[in-house]
Structure 1
Amino acid sequence: MKLFGFFKNKENDTFKIIEPDRLWVEDNFRWLIDVFGYPYPKSEQILLVANYFPKTFASDNVLIENIIEDLCLLIGVVKEKISFEVVSDIRDIYGMPYQIEGMPFETALEIEEKKYKIHIANSLQKHPKRLVYNLVYEFIRIKLTENKLEYDTGKDTNLFLYLAGIYFGFGVLLSQNLKDTGRVDDGFWETKWNYISEMPNEIMAYALATYSKLIEQDAPKWKDNLPSDLKNQFEKAIHYLNDNPTALYDKKELKSNELFKKAYDQYLKNEFVAAIASLQPILSLTNDNVMKADVYNNLGYYHIRLKNYEQAVAYFNCSINIISNYGYANDNLGYAFIQLGKLEEGRAFLEKALQTENNDIAYTNRNFALYYQAKGERNKADEYFKKSFDAITDSVDLLEYHYADFLLQNGEIEKGLEFLKKAVEKGEPEAIERMNEIKKNGTY
């Protein structure tokens, strides 16, 4: 007698994907890697929990503005660039019979003058998870647009956005919303919905497995948050990739990313010499020009923090020779030249950083302030320091330290010491050294 579940056909355990779909996934991941580099090993996928969405979960009600604020931080977009409009339609009229054929309107992105407006169906607020999913989808568009990527490939565009979402860490959230079926009956009126994404389960599973292999995790913790059928296919896809490895998983590139992350962690601890030592081997490991440009830029920056400005200039030039419109490298090169007293050379690179539009304006304004300070133009320097503080979206290295120096030079002792103390509280070695000198010498 054959019992159910026994003598299971082994063929059912084999992951199946047609060759064109497999190549499509790998080619698009390769394109994302060429632009953004390999994802860091041990990266996590973002889940709909308070750890990732603190503003959203801090409120009793799911508010669109809170979700947007959380997504801005998660994906690295300036909040001031984003606005939204809630749109009402026939779905909001109680007692009005309707049936929607095809894809219903839920969100749409409008881009104008480097700002983004998201149009959101009012009815979507009744489905918080789908609301988050749709906003994630639009933020993926914004992320690609911010990086000036031409991602509109026609019929495959929507499917590509799923792959980009996986790459940026939103794969689990997108996976949880491939299907949405439900029914609400209040005793007078019944509403049914049945949504199925155009992304096939097999391709989604293979893309998630490909990402998982890129970060060297065959059994990531986040797989347990996938829908059960997709989790099963994901596990099969991992086995398939183990048996059919591709050139996408370059061990040297994976090692390069591991070292790059290690160097960044060392930098956060102010271990600049160690960070430089971690970065150096990457240059002989990687064939990724984006990675090389990042490594040269970071080598230069860590040398800046050691006040090795001449060495820093050499590294920044190497970075710019690879990617001429690299905003951060141009900005850093401008800073290094200003510290060397080569003011006009420095200013020229700050102007170029502005033109790239991929710089951090708070850093650029700080550097312009140092330029005007060095030229003795006190009012202009003060103006740009204030612009830098106003433009902060994240902590700006040495801003309080340099502003304290500016204030102390101009006799504003009390205010200068106040800002120097803030720099010390940030743990900046330059500020700590300066404060110790002041205490030792009894100046001010």
Structure 2
Amino acid sequence: MKLFGFFKNKENVTFRIAEPDRQWVEDNFRWLIKVFGYPYRESEQILLSENYFPKTFTSDRVSIENIIKDLCSLLQIQEEKISFEVVNDIRDSYGLPYEIEGKPFETEFEIEAGQYKIHIANSLHKHPKRLIYSLVYEFIRIKLTDNKLQYDTGDDTDLFIYLAGIYFGFGVLLSQSLKDTGRIDDGFWETKWNYISEMPNEIMAFALATYSKLIEQDSPKWKDDLQSDLKSQFGKAIKYLADNPSELYDKQELEANELLKLAYDQYLNNDFEEGIANLQKILFLTNDDVMKADVYNNLGYYSIRLKNYEQSLSYFKNSIQIIPDYGYSYDNLGYALIQLGELEEGKEWLDKAMETKNNDFAYTYRNFALYYQAKGEMNKAEDYFKKSFESITDTVDLLEYHYADFLIKNGETEKGLEFLKKAVEKGEPEAIEKMNEIKKN
């Protein structure tokens, strides 16, 4: 168990933290950065509001289904992977006296064949905020598990989840759940509860301040949503870090991260050449293997969108060399080869993408459809296009465009044009070019 040695001195206006505790926080942040990269400068902490939980706030009654939908969106986890079961226990029996020793069961998940099932105590329906906090906690664990991270280190695992929560943007929410006490009395039956987290305020404040330094925000807006004592500690921790800088802050990595975001914004605007130029700059700045793999994959993908398929191949192979189970690069490599007419080699990479289980099924199915279309097996191509549409969790580039091409070549011109119009509405330059060609003819 990690024993925190923080200094308690209410008379002291300065922030003090024992060196082992500071090292524990920074070592864990360093590990998260190694896996997920630096957070962006504009990163925010997620608040319990309609802006971040739109589905949850659609009803006055808190719905587990809606909370799960919002958390899947916030943490980019496929909804299809998540199910839940509400569990009844003695707390649901009215008029039956009981006392719970130790930490009461609230939520827990189990995993089987890549699917997560969350068990949720029915009594949490009486405490909606606690229900949301508990599900946030489970989803952070699921996010780590989904990325195949061995985070269970024993007694300090719960404390690490708080740090990971801060990194993923849920620090303010989790800080509001460090303490939960109350009572309900209906005139006949009284229920009391008292929950105190193992995470000390001082360590939570230092972790939040460390995160703020990582995104270069000494006075973030969300600090006002911290409870008063934690907000005070946070301010002191920020000053402490200004006087005692951390080795975590690497200007080159921060700059590389900002260029990655800029390149992505350029991609969204179909400015692929400018995106490639900024991605290439990153390779001279970063020593982060995860970022390098992402950059090479994106260089290849942006090249694909410019129809430079041959050039894209080496980028995808560089990405896979860094991260051998990078499913997206396998997928993109397969797509590029199919476009080059190397059908069987392309299919081999698509099969490998499926094996990694780190792929986006909608993209993989789209690419299989293109393989079978090129082979002249139209029924199989149709089946895979259908699977692709059914597997969409977010927008899929060029899906409508390729399906429109498939339909038009199959003689279903009217239906094909409908899908081509959808691709044009998405602003895809390939679709716009194709539509202009059709109008000319």
TM over 0.5: yes
The residue identity in structure 1 corresponding to 2:266 is Q
Pairwise CA distance, 1:314: 1.6
Q: Rate the CA distance shift 1:10–1:143 in 2: closer, same or farther, 3 A.
A: closer
Structure 1 equivalent of residue 104 of structure 2: 104
The TM-score, its normalising length taken from structure 2, stands at 0.96
CA distance in structure 1 between the aligned counterparts of 2:188 and 2:377, rounded to whole angstroms? 74
Cα deviation 1:281-337 (Å, max 9, x = unaligned) = 100000001000100100110111111111111211111111121110111011111
Structure 1 equivalent of residue 403 of structure 2: 403
The residue identity in structure 2 corresponding to 1:208 is L
The residue identity in structure 1 corresponding to 2:148 is K
The TM-score, its normalising length taken from structure 1, stands at 0.96
Residue ranges of structure 1 left out of the alignment (5+ in a row): 1-8
Pairwise CA distance, 1:268: 0.8
Structure 2 equivalent of residue 140 of structure 1: 140
1:12 counterpart SS class: coil
> Are 2:292 and 1:292 aligned?
yes
Structure 1 equivalent of residue 329 of structure 2: 329
CA distance in structure 2 between the aligned counterparts of 1:357 and 1:207, rounded to whole angstroms? 32
Structure 1 equivalent of residue 414 of structure 2: 414
Structure 2 equivalent of residue 314 of structure 1: 314
Pairwise CA distance, 1:278: 1.5
2:283 counterpart SS class: helix
CA distance in structure 2 between the aligned counterparts of 1:352 and 1:123, rounded to whole angstroms? 44
CA distance in structure 2 between the aligned counterparts of 1:131 and 1:10, rounded to whole angstroms? 33
The residue identity in structure 1 corresponding to 2:423 is A
CA distance in structure 2 between the aligned counterparts of 1:430 and 1:80, rounded to whole angstroms? 31
Pairwise CA distance, 1:10: 10
The residue identity in structure 2 corresponding to 1:340 is L
The residue identity in structure 1 corresponding to 2:194 is N
Structure 2 equivalent of residue 23 of structure 1: 23
2:194 counterpart SS class: strand
1:110 counterpart SS class: strand
CA distance in structure 2 between the aligned counterparts of 1:49 and 1:290, rounded to whole angstroms? 32
Task: State, as a whole percentage, how many aligned pairs show the same letter.
Answer: 78
Structure 2 equivalent of residue 5 of structure 1: none
1:192 counterpart SS class: strand
Structure 1 equivalent of residue 203 of structure 2: 203
Pairwise CA distance, 1:11: 6.5
The residue identity in structure 2 corresponding to 1:21 is D
Structure 1 equivalent of residue 257 of structure 2: 257
Residue ranges of structure 2 left out of the alignment (5+ in a row): 1-8
CA distance in structure 2 between the aligned counterparts of 1:109 and 1:158, rounded to whole angstroms? 14
Pairwise CA distance, 1:113: 1.8
2:411 counterpart SS class: coil
Pairwise CA distance, 1:343: 1.0
1:51 counterpart SS class: coil
> Are 2:172 and 1:183 aligned?
no
Pairwise CA distance, 1:63: 1.0
Deviates more, 1:128-137 or 1:369-378: 369-378
Pairwise CA distance, 1:92: 1.5
Structure 2 equivalent of residue 194 of structure 1: 194
CA distance in structure 2 between the aligned counterparts of 1:90 and 1:320, rounded to whole angstroms? 52
The residue identity in structure 2 corresponding to 1:80 is E
Structure 1 equivalent of residue 129 of structure 2: 129
1:13 counterpart SS class: coil
2:336 counterpart SS class: helix
- Return structure 1 stretches of 4+ with deviation > 6 angstroms: none
The residue identity in structure 1 corresponding to 2:263 is A
2:195 counterpart SS class: strand
CA distance in structure 2 between the aligned counterparts of 1:359 and 1:15, rounded to whole angstroms? 45
CA distance in structure 2 between the aligned counterparts of 1:235 and 1:275, rounded to whole angstroms? 38
Structure 1 equivalent of residue 4 of structure 2: none
2:358 counterpart SS class: coil
Cα deviation 1:146-191 (Å, max 9, x = unaligned) = 1111111011111111111111111111001100111222222222
